[in-house]
Structure 1
Amino acid sequence: MSNQAIHLFKQRRIKIAKEKRYYNKFIFNGHFTVFLVLLLGAFILGYGQWLKSIPKGINYSLITSVIFALTSMFPMRTLLQNADRLFLLPFEKNMKDYIKCSLIYSYFQRVMRQIALLIIFFPLFFQINHHHYAFYILFTILALVLPFTGLILKWQWYKYDLEHWSIHLILFIIFTAGYYITLDTSQLTGLASIGIVLAISFFVGLANRQHLFPWERMIDIETQHRTNYYKFVNMFTDVKDLSEAAVRRRYLDPVLRVPKASHFNENYMYLFLFKRSFVRGKDAFNIILRLILIAGILMTWLHQPIVSLIIGCLFTYVILLQMSQFYTQQAYGLWPQVWPVDDSKVIKGYQQFLYRLLLIIALVFIVIYALVNPLYMYAGLLFILVGWLTILNIIKKLKYQESLLKD
């Protein structure tokens, strides 16, 4: 039976990997890959310049410890499905081996991000510690071992049916303390955090030996992870059976004022629908906000007029390009069936929505660019030009696609 449990998990792991490979074709397309390469180049350039004159008086050990404490709390992936709460009940006694596979899978799903962060932070501590790195080897061991011990404790915590937030609080405190002691004092006592987590796991495990498998909780956690992944993928391509929750942002209510009586017609209908989908949407709005924030940080950090200009143009292009999902959601959704209108009206409303979004993005980038590079502030108008050309290209492709659908 244990072999069947391992075989079941392997089957689901292969299925998930196949699904991710399929969606990665749409995510890491030519445009997005170029964007990531340029973003990486800009970060390396800015980071290298910053390392030449590292600001003093900042507790880098504490900041790094907090960052690693947050990234070390790996999510637990069980790959369980809704039907399992019924069909796998007779299999419950053999779920122990299944969970072992789950813990290993969860670890290796996130460990590469941990390694990337270790590589990024190494030059900083190599510089501020006068080219000594022996302590950083100890820190690396800690950063690679603690996440797995955290997963072990998470499983015991969930099985004991304790609060979700409490395990994250406990892990955050222990991880931060262990990392900080290692970085700040360069002593082996930081390794005690591993023993503390394992000890808590042992005692919680003793307490929940008679507890049944937490089917409902583990399935809900896995469902939430998959939903979050699908929401991200939905920014690049359509994902079937994905329902997006609406969120009211009261501070944006003025954007969705009730239209005038003269605007209650097919000429203004889709402009309002696109605005409402964006403002009330839970995921797209947050993703675009993060992209604008990242662009602003990079433009402020680099202090190079040409590089900052390229970054602003690139982010403007990517943000407008990611809005393509809004067109498919509205043009092929319910409204065209309830109130049929000509395709040109839908495209026109989408174009008007993109122009308004461009105006907001460009203004934010122009203000940031003008503050960082006041002598070249007029060059910020290039953001508007790039956005305008991007919109023209998007609309041209949409019209061509609609013409093909009519044939």
Structure 2
Amino acid sequence: MSQSAKALFNRRKQAITKEKQYYNKFIFNGHFSVFLVILLGAFILGYGEWLQTMPKNINYALIVSIIVAITSLFPIRTLLKEADKLFLLPFEQHMSTYMKKSLVYSYMLRVGMQIVIVLIFFPLFYVLNNQTFSFYIVFAIVALINPMLGLLLKWQWYKYKLEGWSVHTLLFILYTAMYYVTLEVKNLSGLPIVIILIALIVLLGYLNQKQLFPWERMINAEEQHHMNYYKFVNMFTDVKHIKTTAVRRSYLDPLLPTPKGKRFNENNMYLYLFIRSFVRGKDAFNIILRLILIAIVLMVWLDQMIISLIIGSLFMYIIILQMAQFYTQQAYGLWPQVWPVSDAKVIKGYEQFLYRLMTIVGVILFITYTSVQPLFFYYALIFFVVGAITIRNVTKKLKYQEALLRD
């Protein structure tokens, strides 16, 4: 039966890998790949210059320890489905084999990012410690071992029916302490914490010998992880399996005045619908907000005239382009069936929405660029030019696609 458990997990792993390969074609397309390459180059350039002039009176060991402690909290990916709590219930005694494969998969899924984080911080401590790095090797090894121990402890913790926030808090404290001691004291003083983690795993494993499999918890957690992935992919292409949610955000109510009188008609309905869906929606709003924050941080951090212009222009382009999928979500939804209007008016409302979004984003980027390059503030007008050209191309493509659908 253990072979059946392995075969079941392998089939599901192959299925989700195939699905990700399909969606990756839409995510890592030409323009986004170029964007990532330029963003990486800008980061390397800015990081190298910052290392030469970085302030010395900051506790970098504590800051890095907190960051790496957060990235060390790997989620458990079980690939379980809703029907499993019924059809796999007789199979429960063999689920330990399934979970071993699951924990290994969960670790391999995120360890690449952990390696990148460790490599990013290596130049910082190499410079701070006068080109000595033997202690950093110990830190790197611990940073790669801890996530696996954390996954093992999480599994036993969940099986014992303890709250998830408690194990995350415990792991965060232990990880931070271990990393900080290793980076600050530069010896093996943090290794006893590894022994504590192993002892907790063994103790809970002994207590869980007669515990049943936490079906509901594991299925709900897997469904949430999968839905988060769909939400991310949905910003690049349509995803049929996604479940959308809405958030009140009362502080944005001034952006949603209800059309009255003569403005309450088919010429203004889609502008209002797009704005409302964006302001109340959870996914598009959060992603655009994150992109704006990343652009601000990079422009202020790099503090270079040309590089900041490139970064701002790229983020303006990618923000407008990400909203292209927003059109299909709304234009082919329920409202066109309730109140049918011509395609031209839908596209016109979408174009008006994009111009309003471009204005807000452009003003934010303009202010950011002016604050770091006040003598060349007029260069920041290029953000609006890039936004206008992008909107024009997006709407032109939409009109062409609608024309093909009519034919």
CA–CA distance in structure 2, aligned partners of residues 27 and 199 of structure 1: 42
Q: Deviations over 1:151-196 (max 9, x none)?
A: 0000000000100100000000000000000000011121122111
Partner residue in 2 for 1:309: 309
Partner residue in 2 for 1:367: 367
CA–CA distance in structure 1, aligned partners of residues 245 and 90 of structure 2: 35
Shift, 1:61, TM fit: 0.2
Matched, 1:24 2:37: no
Matched, 1:162 2:162: yes
Moved more, 236-245 or 75-84: 236-245
Question: AA paired with 2:194?
Answer: I
Segments ≥4 residues shifted beyond 4 Å: none
Partner residue in 2 for 1:353: 353
Question: AA paired with 1:311?
Answer: I
Partner residue in 2 for 1:246: 246
Q: TM-score, normalised by structure 1?
A: 0.99
Partner residue in 2 for 1:76: 76
| % identical aligned pairs | 63
Matched, 1:344 2:340: no
Shift, 1:299, TM fit: 0.5
Partner residue in 1 for 2:11: 11
Please say if residues 135 and 182 of structure 2, whose CA atoms lie closer than 8 Å, have aligned partners that are also in contact: yes
CA–CA distance in structure 1, aligned partners of residues 386 and 84 of structure 2: 50
CA–CA distance in structure 2, aligned partners of residues 112 and 273 of structure 1: 41
Structural mapping, 1:116-127, within 5 Å: 116-127=116-127
Q: Deviations over 1:261-314 (max 9, x none)?
A: 211110000000100110001111111001000000110011110110010000
Please say if residues 230 and 241 of structure 2, whose CA atoms lie closer than 8 Å, have aligned partners that are also in contact: no
CA–CA distance in structure 1, aligned partners of residues 260 and 33 of structure 2: 43
CA–CA distance in structure 2, aligned partners of residues 79 and 394 of structure 1: 37
Number of equivalences:
407
CA–CA distance in structure 1, aligned partners of residues 283 and 172 of structure 2: 26
Partner residue in 2 for 1:147: 147
Shift, 1:390, TM fit: 0.6
CA–CA distance in structure 2, aligned partners of residues 324 and 297 of structure 1: 25
Question: AA paired with 1:337?
Answer: Q
Shift, 1:241, TM fit: 2.6
CA–CA distance in structure 2, aligned partners of residues 243 and 282 of structure 1: 11
Shift, 1:329, TM fit: 1.0
CA–CA distance in structure 1, aligned partners of residues 100 and 254 of structure 2: 52
Question: AA paired with 1:36?
Answer: L
Q: Deviations over 1:59-117 (max 9, x none)?
A: 00000000010000100000000000000000000001100000000000000000001
Question: AA paired with 2:185?
Answer: T
Q: What's the secondary structure of 2:189's corresponding residue? A: helix
Question: AA paired with 2:262?
Answer: S
CA–CA distance in structure 2, aligned partners of residues 37 and 260 of structure 1: 47
Partner residue in 2 for 1:44: 44
Please say if residues 227 and 243 of structure 2, whose CA atoms lie closer than 8 Å, have aligned partners that are also in contact: no
Structural mapping, 1:6-405, within 5 Å: 6-405=6-405
Unaligned 5+ segments in structure 2 are none
CA–CA distance in structure 1, aligned partners of residues 365 and 96 of structure 2: 53
Q: What's the secondary structure of 2:58's corresponding residue? A: coil
CA–CA distance in structure 2, aligned partners of residues 272 and 107 of structure 1: 45
Please say if residues 295 and 312 of structure 1, whose CA atoms lie closer than 8 Å, have aligned partners that are also in contact: yes
Please say if residues 268 and 349 of structure 1, whose CA atoms lie closer than 8 Å, have aligned partners that are also in contact: yes
CA–CA distance in structure 1, aligned partners of residues 315 and 242 of structure 2: 27
Unaligned 5+ segments in structure 1 are none
CA–CA distance in structure 1, aligned partners of residues 268 and 198 of structure 2: 61
Question: AA paired with 2:20?
Answer: K
Question: AA paired with 2:200?
Answer: I
Please say if residues 277 and 326 of structure 1, whose CA atoms lie closer than 8 Å, have aligned partners that are also in contact: no
Please say if residues 247 and 282 of structure 1, whose CA atoms lie closer than 8 Å, have aligned partners that are also in contact: yes
Moved more, 237-246 or 9-18: 237-246
Q: TM-score, normalised by structure 2?
A: 0.99
CA–CA distance in structure 1, aligned partners of residues 243 and 227 of structure 2: 9
RMSD: 0.6
Question: AA paired with 2:83?
Answer: A
